[in-house]
Amino acid sequence: MLKDLAYTLVFGKPLVLWLGLAAAICFSGALSVVALNNHTKIRIPIDWHFRLALAGAAIGLIHIVLAISAYI
């Protein structure tokens, strides 16, 4: 059942691919908040770092479960 969900096509690509990209974007956003706050005059509230990191971890966990389900 999870394998079917993981390989459901969304815009012609499997859902597991889109979840991996979303997790990578969230983690990149969290890294960008820290980099912008430390090295530029742009200030973003640090709460966004934690929110993006938590969202990336949650999406990444779902991505891992769906990816492993293909081999179980």
**Residue 51 belongs to what domain range?**
2-69
Q: Are the beta carbons of 72 and 9 closer than 8 angstroms?
A: no
- Summarize pLDDT for 36-48 with one digit per residue, the tens: 999 999 899 999 9
**How many domains, in total, are found in the chain?**
1
C-alpha angle 4/54/64, rounded to 5°?
A: 30
Q: Enter the tokens of residue 44.
A: 């973003």
pLDDT-derived band at 1, boundaries 50, 70, 90: confident
Q: Are the beta carbons of 67 and 15 closer than 8 angstroms?
A: no
Q: How does DSSP assign 29-49, residue by residue?
A: HHHHHHHHHHHSS----THHH
pLDDT-derived band at 15, boundaries 50, 70, 90: very high
**Is residue 70 predicted with pLDDT exceeding 90?**
no
Average pLDDT for the chain: 94
pLDDT-derived band at 2, boundaries 50, 70, 90: confident
